A = this chain, B = another copy of it.
């Protein structure tokens, strides 16, 4: 067994990298970080693109195996191969619920408000900063509202699914962080906010916060 630690390629503010930081912490997987400054386009540098051809963070470098891309594929791989706290419940119906919550954020919300898309809204569609921010808030609001509705279900506990944190929480907390960056009104989402508070009381989440990263500005 190769015992060199995994390397998470990320950026303090990337909410997709943030998800993986949470998962690695929940699992207790030893790892180091390599930071790529997205605003300075370091994710497009040749040596990083050689590692992850899509030129996006996060990517997880696993010694002896290779490089994994896509945050949710990384979370599923961690779940299948690493001991430590489970990211998904045991029953298939519960697993589907958690995945649906995670995908509501990872597919329907975050991709519409990440850096490359906001740049395109600004430069290709000619929006000013107010227009860009309104675009981001629109999609963030729809996404968190959809999650909030489902959080009214009985399966919700102190966390998105029952009383232990997992894959859905690892997506929700970073999305709420993004929501604040765009000054989204979060008062309609008390269930999401309560879960966020429960998460960020845990070291696994607290240590994954953007402000806790060495590359934070």
- Give the interface of A toward B (CB within 8 A): 53-54, 56, 65-66, 68-70, 72-74, 76-77, 80-81, 92-93, 95-97, 99-100, 103-104, 106-108, 110-112, 117, 120-121, 124-125, 127, 131, 134-135, 138, 146, 149-150
**What is the CB-to-nearest-CB distance from A22 to chain B, in angstroms, rounded to a whole number?**
17
Chain B residues with CB below 8 A from A121, complex form: 125
- CB contact between A81 and one of B66, B92, B120 (< 8 Å): that residue: B92
Residues of chain B lying within 8 A (CB to CB) of residue A92: 77, 80-81
Instruction: Name the residue of chain B whose CB is nearest to the CB of A62.
Output: B93
CB pair A76–B99 under 8 Å, yes or no, is yes
Does more than half of chain A's interface fall in helix, strand or loop, or is it mixed? helix
Shortest distance in angstroms between A103's beta carbon and chain B's nearest beta carbon?
4
**Which of B66, B77, B103 contacts A73 (CB under 8 A)?**
B103
Contacts A93-B77, A96-B77, A112-B117 given; does A70 touch B107 at CB 8 Å: yes
Q: Which 6 A-B pairs have the closest CB atoms?
A: A73-B99, A77-B96, A70-B100, A73-B100, A70-B103, A53-B149
A146 surroundings in chain B (CB, below 8 A) = 53-54
Question: Closest approach, in angstroms, between the C-beta of A86 and any C-beta of chain B?
Answer: 14
Q: Can you name 18 A-B pairs with beta carbons within 8 Å?
A: A53-B150, A65-B93, A69-B100, A69-B104, A70-B100, A70-B103, A73-B97, A74-B96, A76-B95, A77-B92, A77-B95, A80-B95, A103-B106, A107-B111, A120-B135, A125-B125, A125-B127, A125-B131
